[in-house]
Amino acid sequence: MEARAGLSHDRGKLIAWILLIAATIAIGALPHLVDTSPPPGALAIAEARFIQEGEGPEQQVSLPHHWLPETLYELTTGSYRLSFHATDVPGESMFLFIPAVRHHVQAWVNGRRADTAPDTVWSTPTSGYAFLARIPDGAIHPGHNEILLRQTRKIGWLPGRLSQVSVGTAAVVMPAYQLSNFLIEEVRAMTFALHIALAIGIASIWTARRHDPVFGWLAAMSITSILVVVAQSPHATLGTLEQLQSISLMSAVGLMAIGMALAIAGRRRPRQLLPAVIAVPACLLALGLTGLVPFPMIGLLSACITLTAYVAAAGILAHQFAQDKNWDAAIMVGPCALTVWFGVHDVLVVTGRYDDPFLLASYARTLMLLAIMVILMGRLARSLNSLDHANDTLRQKLAARESELGLLHEKEKIHAGQMVREQERQRLMRDLHDGMSGHLVAIIALSERHPEGGQAIERAARAALDDLRLVVHSLDLGDGDLGVALAAFRERLEPQLRRLGIAFHWSTEKLPAVTGVTPQNALSVLRILQEAVTNAIRHGPARRLSIEGRTTEDGMATLSVSNDGGRPLQAGTGNGLRNMQRRARELGGRVAFTMGDDGARLLLVFPARLPE
């Protein structure tokens, strides 16, 4: 199984290598497939007489033709004289079209100046462009006609070149001119716009991700390349110094490519690399300014350094892709290799070793920018996928945690219910002990001491029954039911006082609405009232008893139990008062007992919002 898996892995790597090499070769061959032949239906001129001004006699040449003067840096002009025979002159406008030309060209037809198409910002005569000029009406006549083309070399180290010349109507030449204009000028404009957008985007990412060296090197390469493009623009007024500076900056971009490749491969950069990025262009610039090395040699040396650096970068990326199939490295291998390919092509063209209509280095920059954009989008997609995976994992963990918390909550609810039931059980035991047990003990004692005391036993049993009813009734009370509990207490109390011949007054209309009532709270209030009434009957003896409810100035509720008992007793003797005080504290209130000449009075003060 392991051998089969290893074989499948090797086969996949081989296929990836084949696809990568094939794609690189295909893209590299595309510029050579550009058709620069005259458009169908146009009059093609393939022969001309050529002369360099001040450098020899006129000579017969075949088109396409390239030429390089002996003296560099001087503004030189070459003239082409072309002849053609017209049998029939169309009534519509005629145009002069050259599919591929290098350097600035002016045209005359039979001595009349032709109107050339206006140059755009992206017209680069040094790199090659398509020439179009409108022939003046009436300039062409039947029979023999002559065309004069003057080609001015503004950059002395770049050979002049002229492809075959075509003459035709707008319907014949304009489609070919528009296609050439798109491939040569509009692609450059789109590349420059993409370049600026990517430079801004990469620089912004790098400011937020300083720890990632890939974005640092990409930002440096993008910004430096923009400076080179702006410096080499034909619409920028540049002298030899500016050209020298832009050429020296090319070597810096090449060295930065090595740093970018090392960062993508995850390797540490050599210590000498960053100083070299600054020192090498500075040395080239110094050599050019001092005149120790001629300007063409500076350009050639800078190009060699740049191409060597891109070869090293391509080697690093290819090795990394071969090791662990790093697709970021694979994506950048192609542009680096094509930069070397196109760079060698341009060096051969500039030195006159190879004849080709266009310089291709600018298109390598387009491929490099597209590769960078693909890498950025890939990294963004991987980051989003990683974020989605992290969110899914977090949601799963959160769901599991919520399930655990739900189980814990259910257990806590069960435990809380058990605790509440236990507390209620303890309260009932305590209340029954305080009430029922005392009455039952009294009944037992009466039955043992006074077998004939039936009435006393009946009263004790009735008191025990009333107490049990009081406890049971309190279990059905809820929030806001204190008035109901007091009304039930009054119904049970009135018959008892009536049998004893005690006058009874009840008034709770001024009592505030009490909330937070629980069975325990209500029972505590009723126990206090019951104890107060029992004391009044037992220790009075009272003939008149009054229970009144009021509201204090600070919003507290009060219940007072007053009687006219004549025999004063000292407060605090026995457990009754202590029990009342304990129950009052549980309510968040207090109990006050006073005695006077007119009787005794117990005052219960508690908040309108009882504690749960």
Q: What is the DSSP string of 346-381?
A: HHHHHTTSS--S---HHHHHHHHHHHHHHHHHHHHH
Looking at the predicted structure, is the pLDDT value of residue 449 above 90?
A: no
Take residue 348 and report the two structure tokens written for it.
Answer: 């051969």
Q: Check residues 605 and 25 and name the one with the higher pLDDT.
A: 605
- Residue 551 · residue 558 · CB < 8 Å: yes
Give 156's contacts (C-beta < 8 A, 6+ positions apart). 69, 71, 72, 73, 74, 75, 76
At residue 48, the pLDDT reads 93
- What are φ and ψ of residue 329, in 5° steps? -65, -40
- Residue 372 · residue 198 · CB < 8 Å: yes
Take residue 236 and report the two structure tokens written for it.
Answer: 């920028």
Q: Which amino acid is at 208?
A: A
Looking at the predicted structure, is the pLDDT value of residue 235 above 60?
A: no
Average pLDDT estimate for 421-434:
64
At residue 572, the pLDDT reads 46
% residues pLDDT > 90 (the chain): 16
Q: 0.85 exceeded by the pTM?
A: no
At residue 373, the pLDDT reads 83
Tell me the C-alpha distance between 330 and 327, whole Å.
Answer: 5
Instruction: Verify cis geometry, omega within 30 degrees of 0, for the bond prior to 64.
Output: yes
User: In which band, very low, low, confident or very high, does the pLDDT at 234 lie, cut at 50, 70 and 90?
Assistant: low
At residue 221, the pLDDT reads 85
- What are φ and ψ of residue 68, in 5° steps? -140, 120
Burial classification of residue 455, based on how many CB atoms lie within 10 Å of its CB (0-12 exposed, 13-18 middle, 19 or more buried):
exposed
Quote the distance between the C-alpha of residue 590 and its chain's center.
63
Q: Of 17-21, 259-263, 372-376, which has the strongest mean pLDDT?
A: 259-263
H-helix or E-strand spanning residue 230: helix 213-231
| Percent composition of the chain: helix, strand, coil (DSSP 3-state, to 5) | 55, 20, 25
Look at residue 153 and give its three-state secondary structure: strand
- Residue 169 · residue 90 · CB < 8 Å: yes
Q: Check residues 283 and 69 and name the one with the higher pLDDT.
A: 283
Let me know how long the chain is: 612
Across all residues in the chain, what is the average pLDDT? Answer: 81
At residue 591, the pLDDT reads 93
Q: Check residues 15 and 71 and name the one with the higher pLDDT.
A: 15
Looking at the predicted structure, is the pLDDT value of residue 556 above 60?
A: yes
Tell me the C-alpha distance between 548 and 557, whole Å.
Answer: 11
Burial classification of residue 577, based on how many CB atoms lie within 10 Å of its CB (0-12 exposed, 13-18 middle, 19 or more buried):
middle
Give 252's contacts (C-beta < 8 A, 6+ positions apart). 224, 277, 278, 280, 281
Of 577, 576, 545, 549, the C-alpha closest to 562 is 545
Tell me the C-alpha distance between 139 and 36, whole Å.
Answer: 26
H-helix or E-strand spanning residue 473: helix 454-474
Q: Check residues 561 and 248 and name the one with the higher pLDDT.
A: 561
Tell me the C-alpha distance between 587 and 437, whole Å.
Answer: 24
At residue 577, the pLDDT reads 82
Average pLDDT estimate for 519-546:
83
% residues pLDDT > 70 (the chain): 80
In the chain, the N- to C-terminal Cα span, in Å, equals 72
Average pLDDT estimate for 240-245:
63
Which domains are seen in the chain, by residue range?
A: 43-182 (2.60.120.260), 209-359 (no CATH), 493-612 (3.30.565.10)
At residue 569, the pLDDT reads 44
Look at residue 117 and give its three-state secondary structure: coil
Looking at the predicted structure, is the pLDDT value of residue 437 above 60?
A: no
Model confidence pLDDT, tens digit, residues 333-362: 888 998 999 889 888 888 778 888 888 887
Tell me the C-alpha distance between 60 and 540, whole Å.
Answer: 151
Residues of 556-570 as b/e, b for ≥16 C-beta within 10 angstroms? bbbbbbbbbbeeeee
Look at residue 121 and give its three-state secondary structure: coil
- Residue 317 · residue 332 · CB < 8 Å: yes
Q: Which amino acid is at 501?
A: G
Q: Which residues on neighbouring strands pair with residue 606, listed in sequence order? A: 557
Between β-strands 503-507 and 129-135, what pairing exists: parallel, antiparallel or unpaired?
Answer: unpaired
Looking at the predicted structure, is the pLDDT value of residue 6 above 60?
A: no
Burial classification of residue 336, based on how many CB atoms lie within 10 Å of its CB (0-12 exposed, 13-18 middle, 19 or more buried):
buried
Average pLDDT estimate for 5-25:
69
Handedness of CA 286, 287, 292, 293 (dihedral sign): negative
At residue 424, the pLDDT reads 67
Model confidence pLDDT, tens digit, residues 288-340: 888 787 777 888 888 899 999 999 999 999 888 888 878 888 888 888 998 99
User: In which band, very low, low, confident or very high, does the pLDDT at 109 lie, cut at 50, 70 and 90?
Assistant: very high
Model confidence pLDDT, tens digit, residues 115-157: 988 766 556 667 778 889 999 988 888 889 999 999 987 765 6
At residue 570, the pLDDT reads 47
Q: Check residues 36 and 242 and name the one with the higher pLDDT.
A: 36
At residue 548, the pLDDT reads 92
Model confidence pLDDT, tens digit, residues 181-233: 777 777 777 777 877 888 888 888 888 888 888 888 888 888 888 877 776 66
At residue 5, the pLDDT reads 52
Of 262-266, 271-275, 289-293, the one with minimum mean pLDDT is: 289-293
Tell me which DSSP letter residue 103 carries.
Answer: S
